[in-house]
């Protein structure tokens, strides 16, 4: 985003909003308020109460963040309130959804439709599929305008739409008016969605996970834009998210959902510093932090509740650290009560004990997970990647010769010694998954050498490759896709053993051992994967990877499909397993906080190249590459205190196409400090301050902030 | 380490099968179809016990209408129609099962290889299938029988080969759909060989639509078999078959109108039963795995 107008507006907006956090709301009425909303579905398993008496208010000009894990009812409640829930198994929606004093649930269809898009507008998670692919982008926004204002002429609408596109930071708005959604990147599509949402100056803006599908650098841009949109329209914003970092950066008030209810709500600082519900406190303890050195995470035990069989008492009681043994928690459902100072509302019988959980989480009593072993450099590395290259041809026809090449991985070198973890970070499309697959030759390498335990993967024959694949195992991102759905979980885990020719009885006993190691119950070995939740399936996938006793685990985004509380369980499990068996991990992730939690060494990838690598401390505390710095600055920090003072300089633009990477330094097109030499010469990865950085200016910029460099 | 996770408890394997059965039973007509087919199979198996007469014995008056002695009457040679229908069911069912087995036996491996290996294997296999598709099924069967000579085995082969393209294409599409899924990649990453991955990982996951296609093919085969027999290309004359009976009845339409009615009704009932079973299976399969396509191409009957 090099068009400076919005940049200025964004930064100005940040300061402004920070100065007046919802100061002007006390006077007026809430623009949207939900009262005792109940949503029920009929399923084969019985009636499921997805939303169980949810109430919240949103005032004009403020951002209310509704935060919760998968299945906590946060999205369903809003969809139901707006009458957008149309599944045939919807059983009932009751309660009230007051929009400016009018109950939307009782309105006739026609009336409701007139208000949707005019008074309330929604921004969806997947912007690319929320736009009509066969209609010009400009027309779609114009339609949103004209459907509510019949008097508007086409020409006037066009002028207004171009204005809107300009405002949300779409460059060359007039030209892009006539383009189709597929010509826009994901971030640009989200901008278009926001333009469409604010077109009619709605009173309420509902953003349902607006940045979940986006990369961190783009996420930062969109969050800023949402802030601008709120100020521009004066709307109340409901931001539905699972990401506590996003909440801390943007929200004025927070409502935490669990098991279809709101368990706590309050001002954002109060929620993060003095939570009054144990679930909130536990969530904060389970979150990997970018800003603090690695400590052991405190996972929430157990699984999120099954909405078809909610317990009679507090839904959180079975997992709660402070309810242990107290009968009132399991028998009586706690009502939402405001705190003594009138600040936060908490649905807990013992709200004053919750804050204590936070301090316990911070206490140094827990041993750190990754004890930095002194013998790291000793011995040959388990994985040694030397100048690996992977290119894919782009063909225009079936028989045509490749017209171009996608440089997915372009000369990457890595070493992972036994017992250590190398974290590989990068945005989507940077080639990190391709690199992970190269190691097992699931993708054919185009060049370079990859050695696993000293054996060359690229040159290996059929049987040798099979041996290599036994000693290096992979855990995939999506546990719903990586297990064979037709085999029981026990058989899934036993697959590597079967391939080694182990007899059935031996396989059974080994599977039982593996199940015990990853914390699964042996009795469940005969069940199909579909009967397990995401976290449990990921345990099964890990057990399967461990079956052949590998020396190297390749973890391709192993926790990004999981909820925070479950993610912490899996991360701790991985740390324990590494300590027990001294496996080497290649941990691929886009999540910088997770990488900081698990890794000893970090490599940052951009467009198929490694731009910076080194120890965790070096890369996170003293980043020398402008890309690393921009990434670190883009990650939302789950701490609202001092967010106004934090320098947030979102990286402009999108990642360039890997088909035709920029000349010289690949990052120069988005780099805030690029100079002439960057376009001419490709910077080599060289030793800078104890780590490796591929930047011409790595030495000079050591003490410069990106802003000053501008 | 956190507490052991606990999904709901109850006997898993049996429950799983029960769930599929329940989905099947959701369609009432599927249950009716299954019951009808079971009855038909039982009658065909127990034909010597059930049939009141020897199907070849010419011991009655020719062309009698339904009566107490001969429930459905007699044909032009005085043979009992009911007994001939019962024995004829054998020919129809064997043709149906055989043709489906031949079609699946050739088509599924072909589609699996084409879909999983891709590249030139795919090209060769699919051109072969295109070649078969270029000739109408009934014509193909006709030519094959003329060349190979009539007979039960050749009949099955002829109908079965006509069904190969559908099986091959269906399997190929389903295979393509899951070939790049993570669990297939995971199997390769574990060191599984290509044949092992195809048989153990891919095949079970594409079986759903194939099972439905088997039933559809069987019902198609019943009709084609009758058609060929009607043209005199089925099992040679003394053996009873529904198509052959229809052909005989055609000549005596005015003398004994009820003669042709019964074999026709039998055909309709059989095809109906198979069709309903196919529908029920579709429900059962789609409930099990929503991700896999359950597209089924129904064979063009005569």
Band (pLDDT 50/70/90 cuts) for residue A343 is low
Question: Nearest Cβ partner of A483 from B183, B196, B291?
Answer: B183
Contact B7 A524 (CB under 8 A): yes
CA distance A390 to B162: 44
A454: exposed, middle or buried (Cβ count in 10 Å: 0-12, 13-18, 19+) = exposed
Question: Nearest Cβ partner of A442 from B1, B188, B201?
Answer: B188
- In what helix (H) or strand (E) does residue A123 lie, and over which residues does it extend? strand A120-123
What is the layout of strands, in order, in the sheet containing A90-99? A46-58, A32-43, A90-99, A102-103
Question: Nearest Cβ partner of A519 from B1, B8, B185?
Answer: B1
Length of chain B, please? 302
Question: Nearest Cβ partner of B190 from A495, A532, A535?
Answer: A495
Pairing of strands A609-615, A345-346: unpaired
pLDDT at B109: 93
Interface A-B, measured as beta-carbon pairs within 8 A, has a size of 108
Query: What fold is seen in the domain B95-288?
Result: MetI-like fold (1.10.3720)
**Model pLDDT for residues B171-188, shown as the tens digit of each residue:** 999 999 888 888 898 888
| Residues of chain B contacting A478 with CB distance shorter than 8 Å | 182
Instruction: Please give the share of chain B, as a percent, with pLDDT higher than 90.
Output: 19
List, in sequence order, the alpha helices (H) in A50-125: 74-81, 109-115
Mean pLDDT of A182-199: 85
| Count of Cβ atoms closer than 10 Å to residue B46 Cβ | 11
Closest of A95, A543, A296 to residue B190, by C-alpha: A543
A544 CA to chain B: closest CA distance, Å? Answer: 9
Contact B190 A499 (CB under 8 A): yes
Q: At what angle do helices B242-251 and B257-288 cross, to 10 degrees?
A: 150
pLDDT at A24: 45
How far is C-alpha A34 from the chain's CA centre?
A: 27
- Please list the residues that pair with A265 across neighbouring strands: A255, A345
| Residues of chain B contacting A481 with CB distance shorter than 8 Å | 181-183
Residues of chain B whose beta carbon is less than 8 angstroms from a beta carbon of chain A are 1-8, 12-13, 16, 181-183, 185-193, 196, 200-201, 204-205, 207, 289, 291
| Residues of chain A contacting B191 with CB distance shorter than 8 Å | 465-467, 469-470, 496, 499, 548
B239: left (phi over 0), alpha (psi -120 to 50) or beta: beta
**Model pLDDT for residues A13-42, shown as the tens digit of each residue:** 333 433 344 444 444 678 888 888 888 888
What is the layout of strands, in order, in the sheet containing A63-67? A120-123, A204-208, A236-241, A63-67, A253-258, A261-267, A345-346, A337-338
A502 CA to chain B: closest CA distance, Å? Answer: 14
| Residues of chain B contacting A488 with CB distance shorter than 8 Å | 12-13
Contact A527 B7 (CB under 8 A): yes
The tokens for B12 are 């898993």
pLDDT at A365: 39
Q: A105 and A82 in contact (C-beta within 8 Å)?
A: no
pLDDT at B167: 92
Contact B205 A299 (CB under 8 A): no
| Count of Cβ atoms closer than 10 Å to residue B97 Cβ | 16
Long-range contacts of A521-526 (CB under 8 A, 24+ apart): A521/B4, A521/B5, A521/B6, A524/A489, A524/B7, A524/B12, A525/A488, A525/A489, A525/A490, A525/A493, A526/A488, A526/A490, A526/B12, A526/B13
B33 CA to chain A: closest CA distance, Å? Answer: 25
Res A595 pLDDT > 60: yes
| Chain A interface, best mutation among B183, B194, B205, by max A CB count within 10 A | B183
Contact B189 A442 (CB under 8 A): yes
Contact B182 A482 (CB under 8 A): yes
Res A472 pLDDT > 80: yes
| Chain B interface, best mutation among A452, A455, A486, by max B CB count within 10 A | A486
A479 CA to chain B: closest CA distance, Å? Answer: 9
**Model pLDDT for residues A54-109, shown as the tens digit of each residue:** 888 888 888 999 988 877 888 888 888 888 887 778 888 888 888 888 888 888 88
Closest of A520, A496, A494 to residue A507, by C-alpha: A494
Contact A476 B192 (CB under 8 A): no
Q: What does pTM read for this prediction? A: 0.78
B288 CA to chain A: closest CA distance, Å? Answer: 9
CA distance A137 to A183: 10
pLDDT at B299: 34
CA distance A524 to A492: 12
Contact B187 A303 (CB under 8 A): no
CA distance A534 to A242: 16
List, in sequence order, the alpha helices (H) in A45-136: 74-81, 109-115, 127-130
Res B12 pLDDT > 50: no
Least confident of A262-271, A343-352, A695-704, B43-52: A695-704
Closest of A50, A69, A67 to residue A567, by C-alpha: A69
Band (pLDDT 50/70/90 cuts) for residue A342 is low
Contact A499 B191 (CB under 8 A): yes
CA distance A292 to A361: 13
B5 CA to chain A: closest CA distance, Å? Answer: 6
Mean pLDDT of A583-597: 88
Question: Nearest Cβ partner of A478 from B12, B182, B190?
Answer: B182
Contact A476 B182 (CB under 8 A): yes
Contact B192 A526 (CB under 8 A): no
Question: Nearest Cβ partner of A303 from B5, B207, B289?
Answer: B5
- Cα→Cα distances A188→A13, A175, A210, A474, Å: 20, 14, 12, 34
Res B1 pLDDT > 50: no
| Residues of chain A contacting B207 with CB distance shorter than 8 Å | 486
Average pLDDT of chain A to the nearest whole number: 80
Band (pLDDT 50/70/90 cuts) for residue B98 is very high
Residue range A383-613 forms a domain whose CATH class is alpha beta
Pairing of strands A90-99, A32-43: antiparallel
Instruction: Please give the share of chain A, as a percent, with pLDDT higher than 70.
Output: 88
Contact B190 A473 (CB under 8 A): yes
How far is C-alpha A371 from the chain's CA centre?
A: 27
Does the domain at residues A1-119+202-217+230-368 carry the CATH identifier 3.40.190.10? Answer: no
| Residues of chain A contacting B205 with CB distance shorter than 8 Å | 484-486
B185 CA to chain A: closest CA distance, Å? Answer: 7
Contact A499 B4 (CB under 8 A): no
A452 CA to chain B: closest CA distance, Å? Answer: 14
A234 CA to chain B: closest CA distance, Å? Answer: 43
3-state secondary structure of A561: coil
Which chain A residue has its CA at the smallest distance from B204's CA? A486
Question: Nearest Cβ partner of B3 from A302, A481, A524?
Answer: A302
Question: Nearest Cβ partner of A440 from B8, B16, B189?
Answer: B189
B16 CA to chain A: closest CA distance, Å? Answer: 9
Domain ranges of chain A: 1-119+202-217+230-368, 128-201, 383-613, 623-710
pLDDT at B29: 81
Q: B15 and A488 in contact (C-beta within 8 Å)?
A: no
Res A6 pLDDT > 50: no
Q: Terminal CA-to-CA distance of chain A, rounded, Å?
A: 15
Least confident of A158-162, A226-230, A318-322, A543-547: A318-322
pLDDT at B14: 57
Greater confidence (A2 vs B106) lies with: B106
pLDDT at A348: 82
CA distance A707 to A650: 11
Q: A336 and A262 in contact (C-beta within 8 Å)?
A: yes
| Residues of chain B contacting A533 with CB distance shorter than 8 Å | 5, 7
Least confident of A363-372, B123-132, B270-279: A363-372
The tokens for A81 are 């309130």
Domain ranges of chain B: 95-288
A293 CB-near residues (< 8 Å, 6+ apart)? A617
How many CA atoms are closer than 13 Å to the CA of A505, on its beta-carbon side? 0
Contact B4 A487 (CB under 8 A): no
User: Which residue carries 């969809």 as its tokens?
Assistant: A79
CA distance B184 to A574: 23
Band (pLDDT 50/70/90 cuts) for residue A224 is confident
A89 CA to chain B: closest CA distance, Å? Answer: 15
Which chain B residue has its CA at the smallest distance from A436's CA? B189
Band (pLDDT 50/70/90 cuts) for residue B142 is confident
| Residues of chain A contacting B13 with CB distance shorter than 8 Å | 488, 526
| Residues of chain A contacting B289 with CB distance shorter than 8 Å | 485
List, in sequence order, the alpha helices (H) in A199-336: 216-233, 244-250, 268-273, 278-286, 327-331
């Amino acid at each position: 985003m090099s068009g400076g107008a919005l940049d200025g507006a964004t930064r100005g907006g940040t300061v402004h909003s920070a100065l007046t956090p919802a100061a002007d709301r006390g006077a007026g009425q809430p623009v949207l308020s939900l009262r005792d909303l109940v949503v029920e579905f009929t399923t084969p398993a019985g009636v499921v109460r997805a939303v169980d008496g949810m109430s919240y208010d949103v005032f004009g000009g403020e951002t209310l963040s509704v935060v919760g894990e998968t299945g906590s009812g946060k999205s369903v409640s809003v969809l139901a309130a707006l009458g957008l829930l149309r599944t045939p198994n919807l059983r009932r929606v009751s309660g009230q959804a007051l929009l400016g004093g009018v109950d939307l649930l009782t309105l006739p269809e026609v009336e409701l439709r007139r208000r949707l898009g005019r008074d309330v507008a929604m921004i969806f998670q997947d912007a690319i599929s929320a736009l009509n692919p066969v209609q010009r982008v400009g027309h779609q926004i114009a339609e949103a305008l004209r459907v509510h204002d019949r008097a508007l002429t086409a020409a006037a609408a066009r002028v207004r739409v171009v204005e809107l596109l300009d405002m949300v930071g779409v460059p060359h708005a007039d030209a892009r008016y006539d383009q189709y959604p597929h010509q826009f990147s994901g971030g640009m599509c989200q901008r278009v969605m926001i333009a469409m949402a604010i077109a009619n100056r709605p009173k309420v803006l509902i953003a349902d996970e607006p940045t979940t599908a986006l990369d961190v650098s783009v996420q930062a841009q969109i969050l800023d834009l949402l802030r601008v949109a709120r100020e521009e329209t004066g709307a109340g914003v409901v931001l539905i998210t699972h990401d506590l970092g996003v909440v801390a950066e943007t929200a004025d008030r927070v409502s935490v959902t669990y098991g279809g209810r709101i368990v706590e709500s309050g001002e954002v600082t109060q929620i993060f510093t003095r939570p009054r519900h144990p679930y909130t406190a536990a969530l904060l303890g389970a979150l990997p932090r970018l800003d603090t050195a690695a400590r052991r995470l405190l996972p929430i035990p157990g699984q999120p509740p099954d909405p078809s069989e909610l317990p009679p008492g507090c839904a959180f009681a079975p997992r709660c650290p402070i309810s242990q043994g107290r009968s009132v928690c399991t028998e009586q459902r706690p009502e939402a009560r405001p705190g003594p100072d009138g600040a936060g509302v908490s649905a807990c019988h013992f709200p004053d004990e919750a804050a204590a959980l936070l301090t316990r989480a911070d206490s140094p009593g827990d041993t750190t997970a990754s004890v930095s072993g002194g013998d790291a450099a000793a011995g040959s590395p388990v994985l040694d990647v030397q100048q690996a290259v992977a290119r894919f041809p782009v063909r225009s026809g079936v028989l045509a010769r490749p017209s171009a090449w996608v440089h997915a991985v372009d000369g990457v070198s890595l070493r992972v010694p036994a017992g250590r973890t190398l974290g590989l970070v990068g945005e989507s499309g940077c080639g990190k998954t391709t690199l992970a697959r190269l190691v097992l030759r699931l993708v054919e390498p185009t060049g370079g050498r990859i050695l696993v335990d000293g054996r060359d993967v690229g040159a290996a024959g059929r049987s040798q490759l099979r041996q290599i694949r036994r000693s290096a195992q992979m855990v995939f991102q999506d546990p719903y896709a990586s297990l064979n759905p037709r085999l029981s979980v026990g058989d899934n885990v036993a697959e590597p053993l079967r391939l080694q020719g182990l007899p059935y009885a031996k396989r059974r006993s080994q599977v039982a051992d593996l199940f015990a190691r990853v914390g699964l119950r042996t009795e469940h070995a005969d069940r199909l994967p579909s009967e397990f939740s995401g976290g449990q399936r990921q345990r099964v996938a890990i057990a399967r990877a461990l079956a052949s006793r590998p020396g190297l685990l390749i973890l391709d985004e192993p926790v990004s499909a999981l909820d925070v509380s479950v993610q912490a369980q899996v991360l701790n499990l991985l740390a324990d397993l590494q300590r027990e068996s001294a496996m080497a991990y290649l941990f691929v992730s886009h999540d910088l906080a997770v990488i900081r939690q698990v890794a000893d060494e970090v490599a940052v990838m951009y467009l198929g190249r490694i731009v910076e690598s080194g120890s965790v401390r070096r890369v996170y505390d003293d980043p020398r590459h402008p890309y690393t710095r921009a990434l670190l600055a883009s990650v939302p920090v789950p701490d609202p205190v001092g967010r106004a003072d934090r320098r947030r300089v979102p990286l402009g633009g999108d990642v360039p196409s890997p088909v035709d990477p920029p000349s010289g330094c690949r990052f120069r097109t988005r780099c805030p400090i690029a100079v002439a030499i960057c376009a001419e010469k490709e910077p080599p990865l060289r030793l800078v301050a104890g780590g490796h950085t591929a930047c011409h200016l790595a030495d000079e910029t050591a003490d410069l902030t990106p802003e000053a460099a501008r | 380490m956190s507490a052991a996770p606990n999904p709901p408890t109850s006997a898993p394997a049996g429950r799983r099968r029960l769930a599929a059965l329940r989905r099947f039973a959701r369609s009432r007509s599927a249950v009716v179809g299954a019951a009808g087919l079971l009855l038909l199979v039982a009658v065909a198996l127990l034909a010597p016990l059930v049939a009141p007469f020897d199907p070849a014995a010419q011991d009655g008056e020719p062309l009698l209408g339904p009566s107490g002695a001969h429930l459905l009457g007699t044909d032009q040679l005085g043979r009992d129609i009911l007994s001939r229908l019962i024995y004829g069911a054998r020919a129809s069912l064997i043709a149906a099962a055989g043709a489906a087995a031949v079609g699946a036996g050739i088509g599924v491996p072909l589609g699996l290889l084409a879909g999983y290996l891709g590249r030139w294997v795919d090209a060769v296999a699919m051109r072969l299938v295109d070649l078969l598709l270029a000739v109408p099924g009934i014509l193909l069967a006709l030519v094959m029988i003329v060349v190979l000579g009539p007979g039960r085995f050749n009949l099955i082969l002829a109908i079965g080969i006509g069904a190969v393209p559908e099986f091959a294409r269906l399997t190929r599409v389903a295979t393509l759909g899951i070939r790049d899924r993570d669990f297939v990649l995971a199997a390769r990453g574990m060191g599984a060989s290509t044949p092992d991955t195809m048989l153990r990982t891919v095949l079970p996951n594409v079986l759903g639509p194939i099972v439905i296609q088997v039933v559809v093919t069987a019902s198609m085969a019943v009709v084609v078999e009758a058609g060929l027999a009607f043209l005199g290309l089925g099992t040679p004359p003394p053996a009873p078959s529904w198509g052959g009976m229809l052909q005989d009845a055609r000549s005596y339409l005015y003398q004994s109108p009820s003669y042709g009615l019964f074999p026709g009704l039998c055909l309709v009932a059989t095809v109906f039963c198979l069709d309903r079973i196919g529908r029920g299976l579709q429900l059962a399969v789609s409930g099990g795995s929503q991700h896999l396509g359950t597209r089924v191409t129904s064979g063009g009957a005569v």
